[in-house]
Amino acid sequence: MRGAAHPARLRYDRAQLLVQRGDFLAGAAELDLYADVLEPVEPRTAETIRGRARAARAMLN
């Protein structure tokens, strides 16, 4: 990715790492923020990311 999209991708990578290490709430929050950035250009992908955020929150149960 180029330009301003690169920091957004880093947010996604950070979210993935947080979820992998068991910090589900923080990871889900980062995924939601990434989806917000992605929504205007990739609405379907943003919805997929929001699904991953929901899945991360579900791991708390």
17-34 per-position pLDDT tens digit: 999 999 999 999 999 999
Q: What is the pTM of this model?
A: 0.85
Q: Please report the pLDDT score of residue 5 as a whole number.
A: 56
Q: Please report the pLDDT score of residue 58 as a whole number.
A: 96
Low-confidence ranges of the chain (pLDDT < 70): 1-5
- Contact between 26 and 18 (Cβ < 8 Å): yes
Three-state SS at 56: helix
- Contact between 9 and 1 (Cβ < 8 Å): yes
